Chains A and B, each alone.
Chain A
Amino acid sequence: MPQKPKVAVWKFASCDGCQLTLLDCEDELLALAGEVEIANFAEASRAIAKGPYDLSLVEGSITTPHDAERIHQIRRASKFLVTIGACATAGGIQALRNFRNVNEFISIVYATPSYIETLSKSTPIAEHVPVDFELRGCPIDKGQLLEVISAFLNGRKPNTPRHSVCIECKRRGVVCVMVAHGTACLGPVTQDGCGVICPGCQRGCYGCFGPKETPNTRSLSGWFGDLGMKEQEIVRVFRTFNAGAEPFRRESEAHEH
């Protein structure tokens, strides 16, 4: 029997929610353990097997000089590197610092600011090293994670479409919250993958999965304005977990006066 592929899970600036999604795969965890050797997964075990790794799952964004170094070591030790979650793919909620001077935050938050060594921006992994695949979400979706691992193991392309949340919303027969209730929804500019959680319980989409392919944020925020949203509110809807993703960043800045 050929050796099982070695999988490692790494953490950078993040809340651990995406790694926990892996632990959440309760029903599939045994099957997974049968197919791969989990070589490093701090949330599950302290044991660290030495590299090289066949597949590295990287959570979190780069926010410190030390992490900016560490990601290069991980890249060197990994045959295939997949970033998981909004922090790793777009800088996460902590990318809100990118819009301000980080030193001001430090002086307010920390008792001894001089102890803090941090970068001025929170950046996605792909800005530092080549990434083989980006899995979106805040947090990532368990089904999509298994799909990506299964695609990797079977040498095929994962089914993680880049189209809008609306496509899946309609497949599920959800009544559109924007049209039927006048609720602002980021679904038309957000990538599908969450399983339509918010519109499915009659709330607007928050954009957790980041910008879809060819997102027309300008047209949508014009419509938000017609629905009665103020400029500052439009800034806010684009500034959440994927604030640093280019199309969302540009749109939020366009409404900041």
Chain B
Amino acid sequence: MNGEPATTGRQFVIEREHFDQLFELLARKGYRVVGPRIRDGAIVYDQVNSAADLPAGWTEEQEGGKYRLKRREDEALFGYAVGPHSWKKFLHPPNVRLWQAMRKEGSLEVQEEKQEVPKTAFIGARSCELHAIAVQDRVFMNGPYLDTSYRLRRDSVFIVAVNCGCAGGTCFCVSMNTGPKATSGFDLVLTEALEEGRHYFVAESGTETGAAVLAELSQRPAEDREIRSAEEVVARTAGQMGRTMDVSDIKGLLYANYEHPRWDNVAARCLTCGNCTSVCPTCFCTTVEDVTDLSGQKAERWQKWDSCFTMDFSYIHGGSVRSTPKARYRQWMTHKLATWIDQFGTSGCVGCGRCITWCPVAIDITEEVRAIRESDFRRTKRDRHGDTGTDSG
């Protein structure tokens, strides 16, 4: 069947022993291939040259503030959830030089930054991550100001998505309606199936480019039974979510509870370290740093990942607007879950669970929402006839 055009919407089967072809093909087509691999005790996203670089037979245990690699009983290539990295590191890199300027004979010469963006293939993007990419697309490309360098990187990407075969201990995509099945935003999507002595992928293309790639691989149309197996994989994962979050009327809830005592409680634990924002695949904030050389002949402007947890972030002439940890945590969570909807039309949270796992002190956004909901001011006000027990903030 090799060579038969694979059309969008139809499902195909690629046997595990033919899976390496995907890497060879993408490399031949000029892509830098990046995907999951093990480094320093975690599954990170980095260059992968073949299927042998993938974390075959590995999974992980995830809890608030805790991540540990573990062996699986099979040789699944994608048998884990998301790790500390997200595709943000490729699409919205942490350090970007914006321009340089030189002094030339008494005047200033500004050099625009040359954009050299390699064609890049993402292997193993999850459904929540595709939603996160879509969120950043809105921020960088759909607003009044287009981020041209994001646009360039975004346009050079080929995405091979994977439907999750297991959920992590901090995952809650089902609550956020962002997974575990990828429904859009990919060129190709795979479901990994392992059953008595068989290991294969059910594949479907989402774009013309994806269909063309699929057509060049060794595949054959999937049988009904294989399609059903793939569906079962996703259904099983959906039933394994480590966390849940009730997002009903989330804007109303958070806007009515700015002075809830829970913000003081979380502020006592929060380190304002910024890890949550750095690992979050939708957080996009940056700062700019201007540097000069010793002679003052050359200057550069750099864009760097920033975080709403730093004091500088809200520094306006003479002081920080959000000087207390309470104000900073409240800003982050309220923006993520509520004001984001007003601003961009979607939630800023895709339920990937990274901020929970990678918070050094296990602060859990789902727990914080639950705690506020349990003693929602609006309800307690009704219950106690106006005695709300507010704090002073």
Contact = CB atoms under 8 A, between A and B. Distances in A.
A213 B271 CA distance: 10
A179 B309 CA distance: 19
Contact of B294 (A31, A164, A172, A219): A31
Interface stretch (A53-61, A102-110, A120-128, A146-154): A146-154
B291 A170 contact: no
A170 B92 CA distance: 13
B371 interface: no
A31 B311 CA distance: 34
B358 A219 contact: no
Contacts of B291: 147, 150, 159
A193 interface: no
A180 B270 contact: no
A127 B227 CA distance: 73
A154 B295 CA distance: 8
A167 B310 CA distance: 9
A175 B41 contact: yes
B102 to A, nearest CB: 14
Interface stretch (A78-86, A184-192, A229-237, A245-253): A184-192
A187 B39 CA distance: 20
Contact of B68 (A28, A180, A214): A180
A65 interface: no
Given A161-B310, A173-B44, A179 B66 contact: yes
B273 A167 contact: yes
B312 interface: yes
Interface stretch (B237-245, B255-263, B274-282, B380-388): B274-282
Contact of A171 (B65, B271, B295, B304): B304
B279 A170 contact: yes
A170 B360 CA distance: 13
A171 B292 contact: no
A95 interface: no
Contacts of B273: 164, 166-167, 187-189
A166 B41 contact: no
Contacts of B323: 214
A237 B55 CA distance: 35
Interface in A206-231: 213-216, 218-220, 222-223
B296 A153 contact: yes
B310 A156 contact: no
B67 interface: yes
Contact of A156 (B68, B292, B309): B292
Contacts of B44: 173, 175
Contacts of A181: 41
A149 B68 CA distance: 44
A146 B293 CA distance: 9
B294 A170 contact: no
B105 interface: no
Given A166-B278, A180-B41, A171 B307 contact: no
B290 interface: yes
Given A180-B68, A223-B361, A35 B295 contact: yes
B325 interface: yes
Interface string B68-86: 1000000000000000110
Contacts of B94: 170-173
Given A31-B294, A153-B294, A175 B271 contact: no
Contacts of B66: 179, 182
B366 interface: no
A163 interface: yes
A219 B361 contact: yes
Contact of A219 (B270, B309, B311): B270
A34 interface: yes
A77 interface: no
A189 B271 CA distance: 7
B294 A32 contact: yes
With most chain A CB atoms within 10 A of its CB, the pick from B84, B89, B305, B362 is B84
Nearest to B42: A175
B293 to A, nearest CB: 6
A166 B67 contact: no
Interface string A122-139: 000000000000000000
A163 B89 CA distance: 20
Q: Which of B42, B360, B361 has most chain A Cβ within 10 Å?
A: B360
Given A161-B310, A170-B274, A149 B294 contact: yes
Interface of B: 39-42, 44, 65-68, 84-85, 89, 94-95, 268-275, 278-279, 289-296, 304-307, 309-312, 323, 325, 357-358, 360-362
18 contacts: A31-B293, A34-B295, A149-B294, A153-B296, A159-B290, A166-B273, A166-B360, A170-B274, A171-B278, A173-B85, A175-B40, A179-B358, A179-B360, A189-B271, A216-B268, A218-B268, A219-B269, A223-B65
